[in-house]
Amino acid sequence: MKSSSKVYLNQQFLPKEKAFISPEDRGFYFADGVYEVIKYYKGYPFCFDAHMTRLRNSLAGVRISFNRFDELADICDRLIEENRLISEYAGVYIQVTRGVAARTHSFPSNDVTPTLYIRAFPMPTFLSEMRNGVRVISRDDIRWLRCNIKSIALLPNTLIFQEAMEAGAFECLLIRDGKFTEATHSNIMMVRNGMVFTHPDSNLILPGITRTKVIKLCSALSVGVIEKPVKADDINSIEECFITGTGSEIIPVVMVDNTVIGNGKPGPVTRMIQKAFFKITYEELAGEKITVNND
Q: Does 182 interact with a second copy (rule: CB under 8 A)? A: no
Within its chain, how far is the Cα of 290 from the centroid? Answer: 21
Query: CB of residue 222 vs a second copy: minimum separation in angstroms?
Result: 36
Q: Is the dihedral of CA 138, 140, 143, 144 positive or negative?
A: positive
| Region binding a second copy by CB under 8 A among candidate stretches 26-34, 49-57, 74-82, 278-286 | 26-34
Active-site annotation holds for 150:
yes
| Nearest residue (CB) to a second copy, 152 versus 290 | 152
| Region binding a second copy by CB under 8 A among candidate stretches 19-27, 78-86, 206-214, 282-290 | 19-27
Q: Does 165 interact with a second copy (rule: CB under 8 A)? A: yes
Query: CB of residue 60 vs a second copy: minimum separation in angstroms?
Result: 12
Q: Does 4 interact with a second copy (rule: CB under 8 A)? A: no
Q: Does 25 interact with a second copy (rule: CB under 8 A)? A: yes
- Report the alpha-carbon distance of residue 280 to residue 214 in Å, rounded: 11
Question: Which residues are bridge partners to 253 per DSSP?
Answer: 134
| Nearest residue (CB) to a second copy, 25 versus 240 | 25
Query: CB of residue 182 vs a second copy: minimum separation in angstroms?
Result: 14
Query: CB of residue 292 vs a second copy: minimum separation in angstroms?
Result: 24
- Report the alpha-carbon distance of residue 222 to residue 203 in Å, rounded: 28
Question: Which residues are bridge partners to 138 per DSSP?
Answer: 173
| Nearest residue (CB) to a second copy, 245 versus 267 | 245
| Nearest residue (CB) to a second copy, 191 versus 253 | 253
DSSP label at residue 202: S
Query: CB of residue 45 vs a second copy: minimum separation in angstroms?
Result: 19
Q: Does 143 interact with a second copy (rule: CB under 8 A)? A: yes
Please pick, from the candidates 181, 184, 187, 248, the single residue that binds a second copy as defined by CB under 8 A.
184
- Of the candidates 39, 183, 26, the residue with the CA atom closest to the CA atom of residue 123: 39
Question: What is the total count of residues that contact a second copy (CB under 8 A)?
Answer: 48
| Nearest residue (CB) to a second copy, 9 versus 196 | 9
Please pick, from the candidates 4, 12, 22, 259, the single residue that binds a second copy as defined by CB under 8 A.
22
- Return all residues near 50 (Cβ < 8 A) that are at least 6 apart: 209, 212
Q: Does 127 interact with a second copy (rule: CB under 8 A)? A: no
Q: What residues between 48 and 77 interact with a second copy by CB under 8 A?
A: 62-63
Task: Indicate the residue type of 9.
Answer: L
Cα–Cα separations (whole angstroms), residue 191 to 42, 215, 236, 271, 295: 32, 13, 11, 12, 22
Helix (H) or strand (E) holding 52: helix 48-62
The phi, psi pair for 293, rounded to 5°, reads -75, 125
The phi, psi pair for 270, rounded to 5°, reads -60, -45
- Return all residues near 247 (Cβ < 8 A) that are at least 6 apart: 37, 39, 91, 123, 126, 185, 186
- Return all residues near 263 (Cβ < 8 A) that are at least 6 apart: none
Residue among 42, 150, 231, 289 flagged as catalytic: 150
| Region binding a second copy by CB under 8 A among candidate stretches 155-163, 250-258, 274-282, 287-295 | 155-163
Query: CB of residue 223 vs a second copy: minimum separation in angstroms?
Result: 30
- Return all residues near 113 (Cβ < 8 A) that are at least 6 apart: 10, 99
**Catalytic sites, residue numbers:** 150
